Chain A
Amino acid sequence: MTAGLDEALLRSLTPQVLGVLVRRGADFAAAEDAVQEALVEAWRAWPDGAPRDPKGWLVTVAWRKFLDATRADAARRRREEAPDVAPEPAPAVDDTLQLYFLCAHPSLTASSAVALTLRAVGGLTTRQIAQAYLVPESTMAQRISRAKRTVSDVRFDQPGEVATVVRVLYLVFNEGYSGDVDLAAEAIRLTRQLAAVMDHPEVSGLLALMLLHHARRAARKTSEGRLVPLAEQDRGRWDTRLIAEGVEILQAALARDRLGEFQAQAAIAALHADALVAEETDWVQILEWYDELVRLTGSPVVRLNRAVAVGEADGARAGLAALAELEDSLPRYAAVAAYLHERDGDLAAAARLYADAAVHASDLAEREHLLRQAARLNARPSS
């Protein structure tokens, strides 16, 4: 890498520059190509650091690249004139914000929206995104170019729905840490950026949720990759700075009195983060937030998590009763049942259920964790 070149700066400018080009009337795919070329130019032209107005520099170069490409293509002659015909509208909303909405457009599948967001808003290379999602680079390239084609007809001045943007960023965050690119950190960066240009309680709620989860990252697994349940985590390894920031953002969002599911989830995460030892966890308040979440989403998975909170707040029997109202085909149902049965003292049933849950686990760390739980109970001296 060239000394003095600020990669983080370039990445944060990428969506802004792209947004300007698209607003000026450039076709999304062509604009993206032009911005990439401008970035390559910057790589060459900025050996001693960025110019005084790096964004202006990039916009100028990218726009020239776009015009060159458009002129070179005779079939696109009409489009070449379009930018001259349309007077540049005053940006009603930040260009970057429009780009977020475009990349999360409802006409895209979830995986396409994620890929396009990481590429166009995040400024990641196709190779980096492919590695993060463990697919061939050619597959990811196709996914991105299809996504670009899908949104090429979408008018850039149509405001999208915040919920779809937030959902896409949540998907990126949830993907975890495989590959060279830390997608969780990337999701936080993009959500911070979004929160900076958009004042919306759910955007803040999502950012708070990400920060609060991220704060526990070091404690969530042992060095061998074993899952450490929340109650057993070494709380000294939680990142208190991130927790404080997450809580502050959440409180400001809640004060707006427009509750959404991400704020409610963040509130639960904040209550967990608030306890110095697991026993101090305020399960009664957590249960209240789960009730809010059930009301907001009606999601069976939320109701399953709520059963755990009932078990902690009102005792294992009450938890089992709450569980009995749910379908046993839910993912992690057996794991929750096992946990509540163990707390209720029925160790044989718990061991059986942990083993059953392990069979149905969808990720390796969780399966191994559940198998160890079953083995632990089965290995106890028979009384």
Chain B
Amino acid sequence: MAKYLLLKHYRGAPVPAGFVPMDQWTPDEVSAHMQYMRDFADRLKESGEFVDAQALSPEGTFVRYDGAGRPPVTDGPFAETKDVIAGWMVIDVDGYDRALELAGELSAAPGKGGEPIHEWLELRPFMSEAPTVTE
């Protein structure tokens, strides 16, 4: 009934306390993390709340129109200060509380030492179609 976007950031979200970059985990810890994400998506598919999930490459380019007859201006790769989106998941749930619950669950994915990484996820509601009854 209400669609939400869960955004995972490579960079740009607040850094959780005790953050250890993934390349410093053990391979098993990385696998456990990935498996958690897959299981999470599978559960949502079963509950009928899954819409879409995609991972994005960290490589990206800012592009801007630069006037008639000129090639677009590009600005990339991303400077250190820019947000970098790692991927998204779209869910369709009964309401905000459920979306919050799921985002919290996803943020509990295991990291170093199998402990939850407490990663900050961005939760954004979709703009909806106009309901029939508004006046």
Instruction: Give A residues with C-beta under 8 Å from B.
Output: 109-112, 114-115, 133-136, 138-144, 146, 171, 173-178, 184, 209, 213-214, 217, 227, 229-230, 272, 361-367
Contact = CB atoms under 8 A, between A and B. Distances in A.
B133 A363 contact: no
B135 interface: yes
A136 B131 contact: no
Contacts of B46: 142, 146
A136 B92 CA distance: 10
A227 B130 contact: yes
Interface in B81-135: 92-94, 125, 127-135
A363 B50 contact: no
Given A112-B48, A139-B50, A176 B131 contact: yes
Nearest to A229: B135
Contacts of A272: 135
B3 interface: yes
Contacts, number: 84
Contacts of A142: 45-48
Interface of B: 1, 3, 45-52, 92-94, 125, 127-135
Identify which of B46, B94, B128 gathers the most chain A CB atoms within 10 Å of its CB: B128
Nearest to A272: B135
Identify which of A115, A142, A144, A230 gathers the most chain B CB atoms within 10 Å of its CB: A142
Nearest to B134: A366
A322 to B, nearest CB: 18
B132 A363 contact: no
A153 to B, nearest CB: 19
A261 to B, nearest CB: 12
A173 B1 contact: no
Contacts of A139: 45, 48-51, 92
Given A140-B48, A143-B48, A213-B133, A135 B128 contact: no
A202 B52 CA distance: 39
Contacts of B45: 138-139, 142
A135 B132 contact: no
Contacts of B93: 111
A249 to B, nearest CB: 17
Given A139-B50, A146-B47, A146-B48, A362 B92 contact: no
A109 B94 contact: yes
B51 A363 contact: no
B135 A363 contact: no
Given A142-B45, A229-B135, 16 more contacts: A134-B51, A134-B92, A136-B51, A142-B46, A171-B1, A173-B133, A177-B132, A178-B129, A209-B133, A213-B132, A272-B135, A362-B127, A363-B127, A363-B131, A364-B129, A364-B130
Contacts of B92: 111, 133-135, 139
A365 B3 contact: no
Contacts of B3: 134
Contacts of B135: 229-230, 272
A145 B125 CA distance: 26
Contacts of A143: 47-49
B1 A110 contact: yes
